[in-house]
């Protein structure tokens, strides 16, 4: 039986450096790799702290169709789910760092959750599962 996993998910951004700053300073993500590929293109990988799974590949928009996708990766729906072992610690830290939440935290049968947005408006869930 093959063993597979998702290594990276591409996130279309306007600018590498502003995206790196948002994710590392406001969400405390780690910069895993930032390799210059020439012609203004870079291989930039970020990941949540202490993550052992999927990375986010920051992909700079270069075409009109790609620019139209910036901030709308999932057509207005929640796009990514940031699981945490301590919802309130991360929620308070994100608020202090200026992250915009679309709602107050709520308790659901599956855990504590609140929707926030990244620097371009993509919606994420911050969630601590029950």
Q: Where are the extended beta strands (E) located within 14-70?
A: 30-38, 41-47, 55-60
Give 105's DSSP letter: -
Domain ranges of the chain: 8-129
Q: Which residues contact 31 (CB under 8 A, 6 or more apart)?
A: 20, 24, 44, 45, 46
Question: For residue 15, what pLDDT is reported?
Answer: 97
**For the residues 53-81, what does the mean pLDDT come to?**
95
Q: What is the pTM of this model?
A: 0.93
Nearest CA among 89, 83, 16, 25 for reference residue 54: 83
Report d(CA 80, CA 122) in Å as an integer.
9
| Class of 8-129 in CATH | alpha beta
Question: For residue 53, what pLDDT is reported?
Answer: 84
Q: What is the pLDDT of residues 17-64, one digit of tens each?
A: 999 999 999 999 999 999 999 999 999 999 999 998 899 999 999 999
Q: What is the pLDDT of residues 99-127, one digit of tens each?
A: 999 999 999 999 999 999 999 999 999 99
């Amino acid at each position: 039986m093959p063993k597979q996993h998702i290594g990276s998910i591409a996130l279309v951004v306007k600018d590498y450096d502003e995206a790196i700053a948002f994710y590392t300073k406001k969400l405390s993500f780690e910069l895993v790799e930032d390799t210059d590929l020439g012609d203004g293109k870079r291989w930039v990988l970020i990941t949540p702290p202490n993550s052992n799974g999927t990375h986010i590949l920051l992909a700079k928009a270069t075409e009109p169709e790609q620019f139209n996708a910036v901030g709308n990766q999932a057509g207005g729906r929640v796009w990514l789910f940031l699981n945490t072992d301590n919802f309130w610690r991360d929620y308070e830290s994100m608020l202090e760092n200026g992250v915009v939440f679309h709602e107050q935290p709520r308790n659901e049968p599956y855990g504590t959750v609140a929707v926030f947005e990244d620097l371009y408006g993509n919606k994420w869930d911050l969630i601590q599962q029950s």
